[in-house]
A and B are shown apart, each in its own frame.
Chain A
Amino acid sequence: MMNTQPLQQTLDHWSRFTLRQRLMRYGGLALTLLVVAWALSSIDVIWEWVWDAPAQMGDLFGRMMPPDPSNLPSILEAIWQTVNIATLATLFAVLVSLPVAYISAQNTTPNRVTLWIGRFILVSSRSVNTIIWALLFVAIFGPGIVAGIVAIMFRSIGFLGKLLGEAIEEIEQKPVEALEACGASRFKIVLYAIVPQVMPAFFAVSILRWDINLRESTVLGLVGAGGIGMILQGAIDTFNWPEVAMVLLTILALVVFGEVVSSYLRKKIL
């Protein structure tokens, strides 16, 4: 477009974007503003509460100070339980996700039907949040750590299976060809040509998910599925704010601990 204009006319004029680009940018901005205005004007909020919010927040935090460590032993026990939930659930989810990843990767799935079964498992596992899974499993197993483990596990299968499946799809095909030429069976090809190539991704993804699961496990207790969330819920229900603060601090420590451990493992193994 610039080139078609006579050179003299463009010499004293410069703009970063062409007209079309500028229109697109302003259009995008206007659309965003419009959507925000719509959301603001129609959202069902009592605005007095909003203006009051900073004071309320300050008040709440004031009541949390100082954190009360008197219940620390049972808090630490619940944290230990939380770690166990995350670890066991990750372990089981890893085991289950392996065959799921195998059938949902395009280059290893036996046929179309298994491919779609695999994808269905991944999508349904990933789309339903941990809390919703937990609601369901608390109804089945009753309140407690078992429901928590199963809920975290169900949610993790989709995550692990998807990323592992992608890793399988990205492998180098050449070793597979070599093994086929040697007359190796399908299972041995998986064992020698696919497993070694997927190994690094396998560890990376498992460690990452363990880290995420540590965080997810802290809320299971709110729907009765065990862990530190139980104590948090109890403290909130009894308006014991100093203890709430203590629990929050412990969770913070747990999450930081999880990040340190997982980055150490990643460095060590990969």
Chain B
Amino acid sequence: MLKISNLTKRYGSGDPVLKELNLTVEGDQLTSVIGSSGAGKSTLLRCINRLVEPTSGSIELNGTEFTALNRRELRVARRRIGMVFQSFNLIDRLTVMENVQVGRLGYISTWAALTRRYPREDIRHAYELMERVGIAHYANRRADELSGGERQRVGVVRALMQRPEILLADEPTASLDPKTSEQIMTLLRDLASELKLPVIINIHNVTEAKEFSDRIVGMRYGRIIFDGQPDKLTNAEMDEIYAGVPAMDRAEVGAVA
């Protein structure tokens, strides 16, 4: 169970990007976070594994308080959170297998990492997962030889190799064409239920979000203004999430504060 409470993030001395945000995700739910650009979706996701350092608040994953960890502890704890990126973030010049094994880097010795002698268990796991997403025959190909959809599958397998307790996906389909994008969303939904894994997805495409999610969270300017099942998301609420002038919201915050 991931429990975020009173999370605030402020870059420099500007307005906070996340404002006293609360969110709890559990079970094998697929939760989509929607909202216009600049709403703080990406910052929220990166605050969870502290790729972005939160300003204040608490992030608790299955009993571990992430904001209290020092660097070494954080490194160990991050292995429990899988992450999938918009631009895949693969290492182009390495093979698919090496990219996938990156998910296990935290667990193997430096020597094994250097010589690419991965543990048998990890290799078997990698082949199973690659077969599951349909890229097993690419194991020896270089990552930059693959198409966008295939590259994102590598990204997903890399995250799953960590045997994560939760999966975060930051706009996983934004760089893909509509058909591939749908395939990746289907894959993420199926994996969530197969692996009993809570998944949080940042997504722009509301239609996709409604079709694939168990729960939708609508954000505007650092706050959650909608949280519920996809069919509860009405047009009025959509308008509220995607409309609005930033200045007005900021002013409102100023008045409250």
C-alpha spacing A185/B81, complex, angstroms: 16
Q: Does A141 make an interface contact (CB < 8 A)?
A: no
C-alpha spacing A181/B91, complex, angstroms: 14
Q: Does A182 make an interface contact (CB < 8 A)?
A: yes
In the complex, which of the residues B83, B90, B94, B114 contacts A181, with contact meaning CB atoms closer than 8 Å? B83
Are B113 and A183 in contact, with the CB atoms below 8 A? no
Could you give, for residues 183-198 of chain A, a 1 whenever the CB lies within 8 Å of some chain B CB and a 0 otherwise? 1110110011100110
C-alpha spacing A183/B106, complex, angstroms: 6
State whether A181 and B93 are in contact (beta carbons under 8 Å apart), knowing that A187-B110, A192-B98, A192-B113 are contacts in the complex.
no
Instruction: Give the chain A neighbours of B236 by CB distance below 8 A.
Output: none
Instruction: Give the chain B neighbours of A183 by CB distance below 8 A.
Output: 74-79, 105-106, 162
Could you give, for residues 144-181 of chain A, a 1 whenever the CB lies within 8 Å of some chain B CB and a 0 otherwise? 00000000000000000000000000001011011111
List which B232-251 residues lie within 8 A (CB) of chain A.
none
Q: Does A199 make an interface contact (CB < 8 A)?
A: yes
Instruction: Give the chain B neighbours of A174 by CB distance below 8 A.
Output: 85, 87, 89
Q: Does B139 make an interface contact (CB < 8 A)?
A: no
Are A185 and B75 in contact, with the CB atoms below 8 A? yes
C-alpha spacing A199/B93, complex, angstroms: 9
Instruction: Give the chain B neighbours of A182 by CB distance below 8 A.
Output: 78-79, 83, 102-103, 105-106, 158, 162
Are A196 and B105 in contact, with the CB atoms below 8 A? no
List which B49-96 residues lie within 8 A (CB) of chain A.
49, 51, 74-79, 81, 83, 85, 87, 89-94
C-alpha spacing A182/B79, complex, angstroms: 5
Instruction: Give the chain A neighbours of B103 by CB distance below 8 A.
Output: 182
In the complex, which of the residues B79, B85, B91 contacts A192, with contact meaning CB atoms closer than 8 Å? B91
Nearest CB in chain A: distance from B129 CB, A:
15
Instruction: Give the chain A neighbours of B79 by CB distance below 8 A.
Output: 182-183
Are A197 and B49 in contact, with the CB atoms below 8 A? no
Nearest CB in chain A: distance from B100 CB, A:
11
Q: Which of A172, A179, A181, A199 has the most CB of B within 10 A?
A: A181
Could you give, for residues 108-144 of chain A, a 1 whenever the CB lies within 8 Å of some chain B CB and a 0 otherwise? 0000000000000000000000000000000000000
C-alpha spacing A180/B102, complex, angstroms: 10
Are B106 and A184 in contact, with the CB atoms below 8 A? yes
Number of chain B residues whose Cβ lies closer than 8 Å to a Cβ of chain A: 29
C-alpha spacing A181/B90, complex, angstroms: 12
Are B105 and A184 in contact, with the CB atoms below 8 A? yes
State whether A178 and B158 are in contact (beta carbons under 8 Å apart), knowing that A184-B102, A184-B106, A191-B113 are contacts in the complex.
yes
C-alpha spacing A184/B98, complex, angstroms: 14
Instruction: Give the chain B neighbours of A185 by CB distance below 8 A.
Output: 75, 105-106, 110
Instruction: Give the chain A neighbours of B92 by CB distance below 8 A.
Output: 172, 196-197
In the complex, which of the residues B81, B98, B102, B114 contacts A178, with contact meaning CB atoms closer than 8 Å? B102
C-alpha spacing A174/B51, complex, angstroms: 12
Nearest CB in chain A: distance from B81 CB, A:
7
C-alpha spacing A185/B102, complex, angstroms: 11
Are A196 and B110 in contact, with the CB atoms below 8 A? no
Instruction: Give the chain B neighbours of A200 by CB distance below 8 A.
Output: 93
**Which residue of chain B lies nearest to A199 when distances are taken between CB atoms in the complex?**
B93
Are B75 and A175 in contact, with the CB atoms below 8 A? no
C-alpha spacing A187/B112, complex, angstroms: 13
Nearest CB in chain A: distance from B90 CB, A:
7
Instruction: Give the chain A neighbours of B162 by CB distance below 8 A.
Output: 182-183
Are B89 and A175 in contact, with the CB atoms below 8 A? yes
C-alpha spacing A47/B171, complex, angstroms: 76
C-alpha spacing A174/B89, complex, angstroms: 5
Q: Which of B77, B83, B91, B162 has the most CB of A within 10 A?
A: B91
Are B85 and A193 in contact, with the CB atoms below 8 A? no
State whether A178 and B110 are in contact (beta carbons under 8 Å apart), knowing that A183-B76, A183-B78, A192-B91 are contacts in the complex.
no
**Which residue of chain A lies nearest to B164 when distances are taken between CB atoms in the complex?**
A182
State whether A178 and B93 are in contact (beta carbons under 8 Å apart), knowing that A183-B75, A184-B106, A188-B110 are contacts in the complex.
no
Seed contacts A180-B78, A183-B77; 16 additional CB < 8 Å A-B pairs: A172-B92, A174-B89, A178-B83, A178-B155, A178-B158, A179-B102, A181-B78, A183-B75, A183-B105, A187-B110, A192-B102, A196-B93, A196-B94, A197-B92, A199-B93, A200-B93
Considering the complex of A and B, which 8 residue pairs feature the smallest CB-CB distances, nearest first? A183-B78, A178-B89, A183-B79, A184-B105, A183-B106, A174-B89, A181-B83, A196-B93
- 22 residue pairs of the A-B complex, CB under 8 angstroms, read A172-B92, A174-B85, A174-B89, A175-B91, A177-B85, A177-B89, A179-B105, A180-B51, A181-B51, A182-B78, A182-B83, A182-B102, A182-B105, A182-B162, A183-B74, A183-B75, A183-B77, A183-B105, A185-B105, A191-B114, A192-B91, A197-B91
Binding site for A on B (CB under 8 A): 49, 51, 74-79, 81, 83, 85, 87, 89-94, 98, 102-103, 105-106, 110, 113-114, 155, 158, 162
